[in-house]
Amino acid sequence: MSSKNSNSMVWEPPLIQPHRIGEINKFGRARPREKQVSRVFDIDIEQLKAQYGSPVFVTSESRLRQNVRQLKRAFEVRYGNVSHGWSYKTNYISAVCNIMHQEGSLAEVVSAFEYEKARQLGVPGEKIIFNGPNKTRKILERAIADGAQINIDHLDELQLIESVAAAQGRCATVGLRLNFDTGFSEPWSRFGFNIESGQAHQAAKQVVMSEHLRLKGLHSHIGTFILEPRAYCEQVKIMCKFMRDLEGREEVCIDTIDIGGGLPSHNALQGIYLPPDQVVPSIGEYAEAICNTLVEETMYRTRTNRPMPKLIIESGRAVADDAQVLLTSVVGKKRLPDGRQAAILDAGTNLLFTAYWYNHKVDLAAPCRGMAEETVLFGPLCMNIDIVRNSIQLPPLQVGDTMVISPTGAYNNTQWMQFIEYRPNVVLVHESGEVSVIREAENLAVMSAQDRLPEHLSLPFL
C-alpha cells in the first residue's frame, strides 16, 4: 500500500464531494477500461491533426462502400428487385455522394439545391428520386424535362406538376407520398396524402385521370431511427393493400414501392435506456421483416403473371453514420461548482448537431491519467446549450488532448451551422489508404463571399 516515495504526491487541485443519495455507486456509470486510441480508419490520429488541423472530420471510403453493399445484399438475397436511394440530406459532400452512386445508388433529393447538386455531379434525371414538400415551378420544369421520378407531397404540387408537364407536352412519371398509422410510431401525417381519410385514393385517382401524369410508384417514410422491424412490416402491408385496391379500381400498374428510410445506426439515442448494441436490430432483421411481408403481399401479382414491384430503400443513417468520426481537442478545462470536471473542446454542436439527440461515443487519444470521473464536454460556442456530452466518465484531461467522437457520418455535414466558427476540413481515407481533403475548411473569404456592402457602408468609421 505505501509507496516508497511517500512524500511526493500527484498534483490535483484539492476537492471534496458530497455523496448524493441515489447515485452512490462508483461503478455505476463506469466505462470499459480506458484504452488509448491512436488510429482512426487505420490512420494515425496525431498525424491527421498535424496535417489537417483540429477539429477535423475523418471519413472512410471503404466503410461507406462496405455498408451500402451490406445493406443492398441483405435485401437482394431476400427480394431481388431492390434499389437504394442515397439520401442526400444525410451527407451531401460530393465525394460521399459519388461513392454511393458508384455503388449503384440512386440520388434521393428533397430540395432544389439537392436536385441541382445531383445533376451537377452528373447523375442523370432518371436516376433521381425527387421528394420533399417544397418543389418550385422552376426546379419542377427541370426535373420533368430530365425525367426524374417525382414523389408528390400535396394537391397543389400535383396540380403544379400537371401544368408544367402539360406546358412541356410531356407525361411526368410520378409517385405518391403516403402517410398512415402503422400503430408502432406516431404517423408523420404532415407529409404526403393520408390513406385512412381517403385523401390518398382521391389523389391517386386525380393522377390516373390526368393525361400528363403517369403514376409509377408509391412512397412513404414512417419516421427516423425506427427500432422496431415490425413497424416496417405494417408499413409494407398498408402500402401493398393500397396498391392492390388501386390496381383493382383504376387502370394502373405500380412499378415501385419506396419505403423511405429511418433505419437506425449504432448511435446511442438519448432517452433509450440500454446501449445501442442491445436495442438496434441488425440490417438482416429489418430486411427479413420487410421482404417477407413484401413477398406475401405481392403474391397476387405472381399469380396473375405480372412483375413484382421494385423495392426502393432510402436509408442514409444506417449507411453513413459509422463511416465518419470527428477529431476534436481540449482547449481548456475547469471544475464546475458542483464538483464535476468540465472540458471545453474546439468542436461543439455547431459541427455536431446530432449531439442534441445522441450520446456520442467518445474515445481518448491521450494516455489515461487516473481514475475516471463524471465530466461534461462543452463546445466552443458562447451558448449555454453547446454541450457535446452532458455526463460521461473520463479520466483527468489536459489541454491538447485529442478525442475521437463517433459515429458522426449522418446529418452532421449537412445540419452543421455556421455560427461564430469556421467549419473545418473534412477528409476522406481512400480505399488505398491515401488521405485527401473532400471539403476544405472555411476561411474569411468563404464566409464573406456572399456579403454585399452598399456604397455608403463601405467603411466602418467615417
Q: Which of 28, 122, 248, 460 lies at the binding interface for another protein (CB under 8 A)?
A: 28
Smallest gap from residue 300 Cβ to another protein (A): 25
Smallest gap from residue 407 Cβ to another protein (A): 16
Of 228 and 255, CB closest to another protein:
228
Q: How far apart are CA 441 and CA 430, in angstroms?
A: 19
Residue 156 to residues 78, 192, 271: CA-CA distances in angstroms? 38, 11, 38
**CA-based end-to-end distance of the chain:** 73
Strand-strand pairing, 82-87 and 128-130: unpaired
Q: Which of 120, 122, 169, 274 lies at the binding interface for another protein (CB under 8 A)?
A: 274
Binding piece for another protein, criterion CB under 8 A, among 49-57, 135-143, 177-185, 202-210: 177-185
Smallest gap from residue 22 Cβ to another protein (A): 4
Q: Which of 4, 16, 384, 449 lies at the binding interface for another protein (CB under 8 A)?
A: 16
Of 278 and 458, CB closest to another protein:
278
Residue 17 near another protein by CB under 8 A: yes
Question: Which residues lie below 8 Å from residue 403, measured CB to CB, with a gap of 6+?
Answer: 327, 328, 329, 330, 345, 362, 363, 364, 365, 377
- DSSP notation for 94-107: HHHHHHHHHTTPEE
Binding piece for another protein, criterion CB under 8 A, among 43-51, 155-163, 237-245, 274-282: 274-282
Smallest gap from residue 358 Cβ to another protein (A): 14
Report, in angstroms and rounded to the nearest whole number, the Rg of the chain calculated over CA atoms.
26
Of 160 and 269, CB closest to another protein:
269
Q: Which of 37, 145, 253, 272 lies at the binding interface for another protein (CB under 8 A)?
A: 272
Smallest gap from residue 276 Cβ to another protein (A): 9
Residue 338 near another protein by CB under 8 A: no
Of 233 and 428, CB closest to another protein:
233
Residue 4 near another protein by CB under 8 A: no
Residue 336 near another protein by CB under 8 A: no
Residue 251 near another protein by CB under 8 A: no
Q: Cβ–Cβ contacts within 10 Å for residue 184, how many?
A: 18
Selection from 238, 282, 307, 261 nearest residue 80 by Cα: 307
Residue 14 near another protein by CB under 8 A: yes
Q: Which three cell numbers stand for residue 428?
A: 476522406
Question: Cell 460530393 appears where?
Answer: 94
Smallest gap from residue 258 Cβ to another protein (A): 24
Q: How far apart are CA 129 and CA 314, in angstroms?
A: 10
Q: For residues 86-145, which are near another protein according to CB under 8 A?
A: none
Residue 2 near another protein by CB under 8 A: no
Residue 442 near another protein by CB under 8 A: no
> Are residues 322 and 277 in contact, defined by beta-carbon separation less than 8 angstroms?
no
Query: What is the rounded (10 degree) CA torsion for 128, 93, 188, 216?
Result: 10
Of 13 and 454, CB closest to another protein:
13
Greatest CA separation found in the chain? 92
Q: Which of 15, 449, 457, 462 lies at the binding interface for another protein (CB under 8 A)?
A: 15
Residue 10 near another protein by CB under 8 A: yes
Q: Between vectors from CA 178 to CA 109 and to CA 137, what angle results, nearest 5°?
A: 45
Q: How far apart are CA 314 and CA 268, in angstroms?
A: 21
Strand-strand pairing, 82-87 and 310-313: parallel
Residues in contact with another protein by CB under 8 A are 1, 7-33, 181, 183-186, 196, 228, 271-275, 277-278
